[in-house]
Amino acid sequence: MGRAFSVALVGLEGHIVEVEADIGQTLPNFVLLGLPDASLNEAKERIRAAAHNSGIPLSRRKITVNLVPASLPKKGSAFDLAIVMAALSAAGDVRGTGRTVFIAELGLDGRLRPVRGILPAVMAGMRAGFSEFAVAAANLGEARLVPGANARGYQSLARVALDFGANAQELMLEDIGDAEPSFSAAAAVGEPSAGPDLIDVAGQAEARMALEVAAAGGHHLLLVGPPGAGKTMLAERLPGLLPDLDDAEAMEVTAIHSLGGRDQVLSLIRRPPYERPHHTASTVAIIGGGSGIPHPGSASRAHRGVLFLDEARNRKHPTLRVYFTSQSGATRLAGEFSHGQLCSSRRPGSAVLMSCNLCGSVVNSGTAPPRAAEGRATYHRNSLDDQP
Protein backbone atom coordinates (compact mmCIF):
# COMPACT_ATOMS: atom_id res chain seq x y z
CA MET A 1 0.00 0.00 0.00
CA GLY A 2 1.34 3.40 -0.99
CA ARG A 3 0.23 6.80 0.30
CA ALA A 4 0.73 10.42 -0.68
CA PHE A 5 -1.03 13.72 0.00
CA SER A 6 -2.44 16.49 -2.14
CA VAL A 7 -4.94 19.36 -1.79
CA ALA A 8 -8.44 19.76 -3.24
CA LEU A 9 -9.66 23.34 -3.62
CA VAL A 10 -13.32 24.26 -3.19
CA GLY A 11 -13.29 27.94 -4.04
CA LEU A 12 -10.56 29.35 -1.79
CA GLU A 13 -10.98 26.61 0.82
CA GLY A 14 -8.44 23.82 0.58
CA HIS A 15 -8.90 20.28 1.88
CA ILE A 16 -6.10 17.75 2.37
CA VAL A 17 -6.64 14.65 0.22
CA GLU A 18 -4.92 11.38 1.10
CA VAL A 19 -4.08 9.37 -2.00
CA GLU A 20 -4.03 5.59 -1.38
CA ALA A 21 -2.66 3.16 -3.95
CA ASP A 22 -2.86 -0.63 -3.93
CA ILE A 23 -1.29 -3.16 -6.33
CA GLY A 24 -3.55 -6.15 -6.96
CA GLN A 25 -2.83 -9.62 -8.36
CA THR A 26 -5.26 -9.49 -11.28
CA LEU A 27 -4.97 -8.40 -14.93
CA PRO A 28 -3.49 -4.96 -15.70
CA ASN A 29 -5.93 -2.16 -14.97
CA PHE A 30 -6.00 1.29 -13.41
CA VAL A 31 -8.99 2.20 -11.24
CA LEU A 32 -9.39 5.71 -9.84
CA LEU A 33 -11.91 6.17 -6.99
CA GLY A 34 -13.04 9.16 -4.92
CA LEU A 35 -15.34 11.30 -7.13
CA PRO A 36 -12.80 12.39 -9.78
CA ASP A 37 -13.99 14.69 -12.57
CA ALA A 38 -13.30 14.08 -16.27
CA SER A 39 -9.89 15.80 -16.31
CA LEU A 40 -8.79 13.85 -13.24
CA ASN A 41 -10.03 10.57 -14.72
CA GLU A 42 -7.76 11.19 -17.70
CA ALA A 43 -4.82 11.24 -15.29
CA LYS A 44 -4.59 7.46 -15.59
CA GLU A 45 -3.19 7.69 -19.12
CA ARG A 46 -1.05 10.75 -18.39
CA ILE A 47 0.50 9.02 -15.39
CA ARG A 48 1.31 5.78 -17.24
CA ALA A 49 3.00 7.65 -20.09
CA ALA A 50 4.87 10.02 -17.76
CA ALA A 51 6.18 7.19 -15.57
CA HIS A 52 7.28 5.16 -18.59
CA ASN A 53 9.09 8.13 -20.17
CA SER A 54 10.79 8.87 -16.84
CA GLY A 55 12.33 5.40 -16.58
CA ILE A 56 10.06 4.11 -13.79
CA PRO A 57 7.10 2.40 -15.48
CA LEU A 58 4.08 1.54 -13.38
CA SER A 59 3.28 -2.01 -12.38
CA ARG A 60 1.60 -4.18 -15.03
CA ARG A 61 -0.86 -5.47 -12.45
CA LYS A 62 -4.11 -3.89 -11.31
CA ILE A 63 -3.59 -0.49 -9.66
CA THR A 64 -6.38 0.87 -7.47
CA VAL A 65 -6.11 4.50 -6.35
CA ASN A 66 -8.50 5.97 -3.79
CA LEU A 67 -8.78 9.69 -3.04
CA VAL A 68 -9.82 10.27 0.59
CA PRO A 69 -12.26 11.71 1.63
CA ALA A 70 -14.25 9.93 -1.04
CA SER A 71 -17.29 12.21 -0.59
CA LEU A 72 -15.37 15.36 -1.62
CA PRO A 73 -15.45 16.02 -5.40
CA LYS A 74 -11.93 16.16 -6.88
CA LYS A 75 -11.32 18.40 -9.88
CA GLY A 76 -8.40 19.26 -12.09
CA SER A 77 -4.98 17.86 -12.85
CA ALA A 78 -3.16 18.98 -9.69
CA PHE A 79 -3.44 15.43 -8.26
CA ASP A 80 -1.29 13.83 -10.99
CA LEU A 81 1.98 13.93 -9.07
CA ALA A 82 0.45 12.63 -5.82
CA ILE A 83 -1.23 9.73 -7.63
CA VAL A 84 1.91 8.58 -9.41
CA MET A 85 4.02 8.86 -6.24
CA ALA A 86 1.47 6.77 -4.31
CA ALA A 87 1.47 4.14 -7.08
CA LEU A 88 5.28 4.04 -7.21
CA SER A 89 5.42 3.75 -3.41
CA ALA A 90 2.97 0.83 -3.49
CA ALA A 91 5.18 -0.96 -6.03
CA GLY A 92 8.31 -0.33 -3.96
CA ASP A 93 9.96 1.82 -6.64
CA VAL A 94 10.29 4.75 -4.21
CA ARG A 95 10.36 4.92 -0.45
CA GLY A 96 7.44 6.28 1.59
CA THR A 97 6.61 9.89 0.85
CA GLY A 98 5.90 10.73 4.50
CA ARG A 99 3.91 13.94 4.97
CA THR A 100 4.98 15.62 1.75
CA VAL A 101 2.15 17.25 -0.20
CA PHE A 102 2.40 16.87 -3.99
CA ILE A 103 0.73 19.46 -6.23
CA ALA A 104 1.53 19.37 -9.94
CA GLU A 105 0.28 18.23 -13.33
CA LEU A 106 2.20 15.69 -15.38
CA GLY A 107 3.06 15.91 -19.05
CA LEU A 108 3.43 12.78 -21.17
CA ASP A 109 7.20 13.27 -21.24
CA GLY A 110 7.38 13.36 -17.44
CA ARG A 111 7.58 17.14 -17.18
CA LEU A 112 5.87 18.78 -14.19
CA ARG A 113 3.52 21.49 -15.35
CA PRO A 114 2.22 24.37 -13.20
CA VAL A 115 -1.33 24.51 -11.90
CA ARG A 116 -3.39 27.43 -10.63
CA GLY A 117 -4.28 27.92 -7.00
CA ILE A 118 -0.89 26.93 -5.56
CA LEU A 119 -0.96 29.68 -2.92
CA PRO A 120 -4.34 28.75 -1.34
CA ALA A 121 -3.41 25.06 -1.62
CA VAL A 122 -0.15 25.54 0.29
CA MET A 123 -1.94 27.73 2.84
CA ALA A 124 -4.47 24.92 3.38
CA GLY A 125 -1.67 22.39 3.80
CA MET A 126 0.04 24.56 6.40
CA ARG A 127 -3.21 24.95 8.33
CA ALA A 128 -3.58 21.15 8.33
CA GLY A 129 -0.11 20.68 9.83
CA PHE A 130 1.90 19.91 6.67
CA SER A 131 5.09 21.80 5.92
CA GLU A 132 6.74 19.86 3.05
CA PHE A 133 5.50 20.54 -0.50
CA ALA A 134 6.61 19.32 -3.91
CA VAL A 135 5.44 21.50 -6.82
CA ALA A 136 6.37 22.27 -10.40
CA ALA A 137 9.39 24.53 -10.76
CA ALA A 138 7.22 27.22 -12.34
CA ASN A 139 5.07 27.32 -9.17
CA LEU A 140 7.97 27.35 -6.69
CA GLY A 141 8.10 31.12 -6.20
CA GLU A 142 4.38 31.26 -5.46
CA ALA A 143 4.54 28.33 -3.02
CA ARG A 144 7.35 29.98 -1.07
CA LEU A 145 5.20 33.05 -0.39
CA VAL A 146 3.55 31.13 2.46
CA PRO A 147 5.53 31.65 5.68
CA GLY A 148 6.96 28.41 7.08
CA ALA A 149 6.35 26.34 3.94
CA ASN A 150 9.30 24.20 2.85
CA ALA A 151 8.54 23.98 -0.86
CA ARG A 152 10.72 22.23 -3.44
CA GLY A 153 10.34 22.79 -7.17
CA TYR A 154 10.95 20.06 -9.75
CA GLN A 155 11.03 20.07 -13.52
CA SER A 156 10.40 16.36 -14.02
CA LEU A 157 8.95 13.27 -12.39
CA ALA A 158 12.35 11.60 -12.57
CA ARG A 159 13.85 14.26 -10.30
CA VAL A 160 11.04 13.80 -7.78
CA ALA A 161 11.48 10.03 -7.79
CA LEU A 162 15.24 10.42 -7.33
CA ASP A 163 14.71 12.51 -4.20
CA PHE A 164 12.45 9.77 -2.81
CA GLY A 165 14.84 6.88 -3.28
CA ALA A 166 14.36 5.67 -6.85
CA ASN A 167 17.27 3.93 -8.61
CA ALA A 168 19.23 6.69 -10.34
CA GLN A 169 20.61 4.26 -12.96
CA GLU A 170 17.12 3.52 -14.28
CA LEU A 171 15.82 7.08 -14.30
CA MET A 172 15.89 9.34 -17.35
CA LEU A 173 17.46 12.40 -15.75
CA GLU A 174 18.49 14.29 -18.87
CA ASP A 175 17.55 17.96 -18.96
CA ILE A 176 14.05 18.47 -20.37
CA GLY A 177 14.36 22.24 -20.74
CA ASP A 178 13.54 25.25 -18.66
CA ALA A 179 10.37 25.37 -16.60
CA GLU A 180 7.41 26.72 -18.49
CA PRO A 181 5.84 29.98 -17.32
CA SER A 182 2.61 29.70 -15.40
CA PHE A 183 -0.50 30.40 -17.51
CA SER A 184 0.47 33.79 -18.94
CA ALA A 185 3.85 34.96 -20.15
CA ALA A 186 2.52 38.45 -20.69
CA ALA A 187 2.11 39.55 -17.09
CA ALA A 188 2.97 38.61 -13.54
CA VAL A 189 1.05 39.35 -10.37
CA GLY A 190 3.05 41.32 -7.83
CA GLU A 191 3.62 44.91 -6.96
CA PRO A 192 1.58 46.98 -9.46
CA SER A 193 2.88 50.14 -11.04
CA ALA A 194 1.76 53.43 -9.58
CA GLY A 195 -1.80 54.21 -10.65
CA PRO A 196 -3.59 57.53 -11.10
CA ASP A 197 -3.20 59.89 -8.16
CA LEU A 198 -5.74 62.30 -6.74
CA ILE A 199 -3.14 65.06 -7.03
CA ASP A 200 -3.72 65.00 -10.79
CA VAL A 201 -7.31 66.25 -10.34
CA ALA A 202 -7.71 70.01 -10.74
CA GLY A 203 -10.64 71.49 -8.86
CA GLN A 204 -13.42 69.14 -7.69
CA ALA A 205 -12.79 70.23 -4.10
CA GLU A 206 -16.03 68.78 -2.70
CA ALA A 207 -15.66 65.49 -4.56
CA ARG A 208 -12.01 65.15 -3.49
CA MET A 209 -12.94 65.74 0.15
CA ALA A 210 -15.79 63.22 -0.10
CA LEU A 211 -13.46 60.56 -1.49
CA GLU A 212 -10.90 61.16 1.24
CA VAL A 213 -13.51 60.97 4.00
CA ALA A 214 -15.04 57.79 2.55
CA ALA A 215 -11.65 56.11 2.17
CA ALA A 216 -10.52 57.06 5.67
CA GLY A 217 -13.72 56.32 7.57
CA GLY A 218 -15.35 53.56 5.58
CA HIS A 219 -18.46 55.57 4.71
CA HIS A 220 -20.89 55.35 1.84
CA LEU A 221 -20.72 58.08 -0.76
CA LEU A 222 -23.09 59.26 -3.49
CA LEU A 223 -21.60 61.29 -6.33
CA VAL A 224 -24.15 62.95 -8.59
CA GLY A 225 -23.20 64.53 -11.90
CA PRO A 226 -23.83 64.54 -15.64
CA PRO A 227 -21.58 62.71 -18.15
CA GLY A 228 -18.11 64.22 -18.12
CA ALA A 229 -18.38 65.55 -14.58
CA GLY A 230 -15.41 63.41 -13.49
CA LYS A 231 -16.99 60.41 -11.75
CA THR A 232 -14.78 57.86 -13.52
CA MET A 233 -11.69 60.01 -13.08
CA LEU A 234 -12.28 60.16 -9.34
CA ALA A 235 -13.07 56.44 -9.10
CA GLU A 236 -9.75 55.50 -10.73
CA ARG A 237 -7.93 57.49 -8.06
CA LEU A 238 -9.65 55.99 -5.02
CA PRO A 239 -7.18 53.06 -4.66
CA GLY A 240 -4.38 55.59 -4.25
CA LEU A 241 -6.01 56.84 -1.05
CA LEU A 242 -6.14 53.38 0.53
CA PRO A 243 -3.25 52.11 2.69
CA ASP A 244 -1.04 49.16 1.80
CA LEU A 245 -2.40 45.73 2.68
CA ASP A 246 -1.01 44.04 5.78
CA ASP A 247 0.40 40.51 5.62
CA ALA A 248 -2.92 38.71 6.21
CA GLU A 249 -4.81 40.88 3.72
CA ALA A 250 -2.06 40.53 1.12
CA MET A 251 -2.24 36.73 1.43
CA GLU A 252 -6.02 36.83 0.92
CA VAL A 253 -5.81 39.01 -2.18
CA THR A 254 -2.88 37.12 -3.72
CA ALA A 255 -4.63 33.78 -3.11
CA ILE A 256 -7.66 34.99 -5.07
CA HIS A 257 -5.48 36.08 -8.00
CA SER A 258 -3.64 32.75 -7.82
CA LEU A 259 -6.93 30.88 -8.07
CA GLY A 260 -7.85 32.94 -11.14
CA GLY A 261 -4.74 31.62 -12.85
CA ARG A 262 -4.56 34.39 -15.44
CA ASP A 263 -1.07 35.58 -14.47
CA GLN A 264 1.99 34.18 -12.77
CA VAL A 265 2.19 35.05 -9.06
CA LEU A 266 5.69 36.18 -8.11
CA SER A 267 5.13 38.20 -4.93
CA LEU A 268 2.40 39.24 -2.52
CA ILE A 269 0.05 41.95 -3.72
CA ARG A 270 0.54 44.83 -1.30
CA ARG A 271 -1.60 47.47 -2.98
CA PRO A 272 -5.44 47.38 -3.01
CA PRO A 273 -6.59 45.97 -6.36
CA TYR A 274 -8.82 47.87 -8.78
CA GLU A 275 -11.38 46.16 -11.01
CA ARG A 276 -13.56 47.83 -13.63
CA PRO A 277 -15.70 45.26 -15.48
CA HIS A 278 -17.46 46.39 -18.63
CA HIS A 279 -21.09 47.38 -18.22
CA THR A 280 -22.12 44.48 -20.50
CA ALA A 281 -20.29 41.89 -18.33
CA SER A 282 -22.45 38.97 -17.27
CA THR A 283 -23.37 38.09 -13.71
CA VAL A 284 -20.86 35.22 -13.69
CA ALA A 285 -18.07 37.50 -14.96
CA ILE A 286 -18.67 39.92 -12.10
CA ILE A 287 -19.75 37.56 -9.32
CA GLY A 288 -17.64 34.55 -10.32
CA GLY A 289 -18.38 30.94 -11.17
CA GLY A 290 -17.98 28.58 -14.08
CA SER A 291 -18.05 24.82 -14.54
CA GLY A 292 -15.53 22.61 -12.80
CA ILE A 293 -13.22 24.64 -10.57
CA PRO A 294 -14.92 28.04 -10.19
CA HIS A 295 -13.05 31.15 -11.28
CA PRO A 296 -13.26 34.31 -9.16
CA GLY A 297 -15.14 37.17 -10.79
CA SER A 298 -14.34 40.86 -10.76
CA ALA A 299 -15.97 41.26 -7.35
CA SER A 300 -13.68 38.65 -5.81
CA ARG A 301 -10.58 39.98 -7.57
CA ALA A 302 -11.36 43.42 -6.13
CA HIS A 303 -11.29 42.05 -2.58
CA ARG A 304 -9.60 44.55 -0.23
CA GLY A 305 -9.59 47.04 -3.09
CA VAL A 306 -12.01 48.87 -5.37
CA LEU A 307 -14.71 47.49 -7.67
CA PHE A 308 -15.96 50.12 -10.11
CA LEU A 309 -19.30 49.32 -11.75
CA ASP A 310 -19.55 51.99 -14.42
CA GLU A 311 -22.82 52.69 -16.22
CA ALA A 312 -24.83 51.02 -13.44
CA ARG A 313 -28.10 52.02 -15.09
CA ASN A 314 -27.24 49.78 -18.05
CA ARG A 315 -26.38 46.76 -15.92
CA LYS A 316 -28.73 43.88 -15.23
CA HIS A 317 -30.40 44.30 -11.85
CA PRO A 318 -29.93 40.63 -10.80
CA THR A 319 -26.17 41.21 -10.87
CA LEU A 320 -26.47 44.00 -8.31
CA ARG A 321 -28.93 42.03 -6.20
CA VAL A 322 -26.67 38.95 -6.07
CA TYR A 323 -23.65 41.03 -5.14
CA PHE A 324 -25.34 42.77 -2.22
CA THR A 325 -27.18 39.73 -0.89
CA SER A 326 -26.22 39.29 2.75
CA GLN A 327 -26.57 36.00 4.60
CA SER A 328 -25.41 35.45 8.17
CA GLY A 329 -23.09 38.44 8.05
CA ALA A 330 -21.34 37.30 4.85
CA THR A 331 -21.50 39.15 1.56
CA ARG A 332 -21.69 36.59 -1.23
CA LEU A 333 -19.18 37.24 -3.98
CA ALA A 334 -20.22 34.41 -6.27
CA GLY A 335 -23.33 32.70 -7.51
CA GLU A 336 -24.03 28.99 -7.34
CA PHE A 337 -21.50 26.60 -8.85
CA SER A 338 -21.76 22.91 -9.51
CA HIS A 339 -22.17 20.84 -6.33
CA GLY A 340 -23.51 23.95 -4.58
CA GLN A 341 -20.08 25.49 -4.08
CA LEU A 342 -19.79 29.19 -3.29
CA CYS A 343 -16.92 31.63 -3.17
CA SER A 344 -17.62 34.27 -0.54
CA SER A 345 -15.92 36.71 1.75
CA ARG A 346 -16.72 36.85 5.44
CA ARG A 347 -17.44 40.56 5.25
CA PRO A 348 -17.57 43.24 2.57
CA GLY A 349 -13.95 43.45 1.57
CA SER A 350 -13.81 46.05 -1.18
CA ALA A 351 -14.97 49.55 -1.98
CA VAL A 352 -17.77 49.44 -4.55
CA LEU A 353 -18.29 52.37 -6.90
CA MET A 354 -21.42 52.41 -9.06
CA SER A 355 -21.51 55.09 -11.73
CA CYS A 356 -24.70 56.30 -13.39
CA ASN A 357 -25.27 59.35 -15.56
CA LEU A 358 -28.52 60.23 -13.79
CA CYS A 359 -28.06 58.88 -10.28
CA GLY A 360 -24.29 59.22 -9.80
CA SER A 361 -22.13 56.68 -7.97
CA VAL A 362 -22.44 54.67 -4.81
CA VAL A 363 -19.29 53.88 -2.80
CA ASN A 364 -19.42 51.03 -0.29
CA SER A 365 -16.20 50.77 1.71
CA GLY A 366 -15.14 47.46 3.19
CA THR A 367 -15.55 48.46 6.82
CA ALA A 368 -19.28 49.14 6.69
CA PRO A 369 -21.63 46.63 8.33
CA PRO A 370 -23.24 44.14 5.91
CA ARG A 371 -26.79 45.26 6.76
CA ALA A 372 -25.89 48.84 5.99
CA ALA A 373 -24.41 47.77 2.66
CA GLU A 374 -27.57 45.83 1.85
CA GLY A 375 -29.81 48.77 2.73
CA ARG A 376 -27.93 51.22 0.55
CA ALA A 377 -27.88 48.72 -2.31
CA THR A 378 -31.67 48.40 -2.02
CA TYR A 379 -32.03 52.18 -2.11
CA HIS A 380 -29.81 52.37 -5.18
CA ARG A 381 -31.73 49.59 -6.97
CA ASN A 382 -35.01 51.35 -6.29
CA SER A 383 -33.64 54.59 -7.72
CA LEU A 384 -32.61 52.70 -10.85
CA ASP A 385 -36.02 51.04 -11.16
CA ASP A 386 -37.69 54.44 -11.10
CA GLN A 387 -35.77 55.65 -14.14
CA PRO A 388 -37.51 55.37 -17.53
Domain ranges of the chain: 2-163, 188-385
Q: How many Å apart are CA 29 and CA 60, to the nearest integer?
A: 8
* Per-residue model confidence (pLDDT) at position 293: 64
Could you name the CATH architecture of 188-385?
3-Layer(aba) Sandwich (3.40)
Residue 36 β-bridge partners: 74
Question: Which alpha helices (H) appear in the chain, and where do they start and end?
Answer: 38-41, 43-53, 80-91, 118-127, 140-143, 157-163, 205-217, 231-237, 247-260, 283-287, 298-301, 317-323, 370-385
Rounded CA gap, 156 and 159, in Å?
5
- List Cβ neighbours of 235 (8 Å cut-off, separation of 6 or more): 276, 306, 308, 310, 353, 355, 361
- The number of beta carbons lying within 10 Å of the beta carbon of residue 38 is 8
Q: At 1, is the secondary structure helix, strand, or coil? A: coil
What pLDDT is attached to residue 199?
87
pLDDT at 53: 94
Neighbours of 179 (CB within 10 A): 19
CB 326 within 8 A of CB 371: yes
CATH class of 2-163: alpha beta
Asked if domains 2-163 and 188-385 share a fold, the reply is: no
pLDDT for the residue 246: 92
Distance, in Å, from the CA atom of 70 to the CA atom of 78, rounded to the nearest integer, reads: 17
Q: What is the pLDDT of residue 44?
A: 93
Find the helix or strand (DSSP H, E) in which 6 lies. strand 2-10
Given this model, what pLDDT does residue 305 score? 84
* CB 89 within 8 Å of CB 116: no
Nearest Cα to Cα of residue 16 among 92, 99, 96, 98: 99
Question: For residue 267, how far is the Cα from the chain centroid?
Answer: 14
From first to last of its 388 residues, the chain has per-residue pLDDT tens of 999 999 999 888 899 999 999 999 888 899 999 999 888 999 999 999 999 999 999 999 999 999 999 999 898 899 999 999 999 999 999 998 999 999 999 999 999 999 999 999 999 999 999 999 999 999 999 999 999 999 999 999 999 999 999 988 889 887 555 444 444 433 455 555 567 888 888 888 888 888 888 788 766 666 667 888 888 888 888 888 888 999 999 999 999 889 887 777 888 999 988 888 887 888 778 777 766 667 788 888 888 888 877 776 666 666 666 666 633 333 333 333 333 333 333 334 566 665 555 543 444 434 433 333 333 333 343 434 444 4
pLDDT attached to residue 80? 96
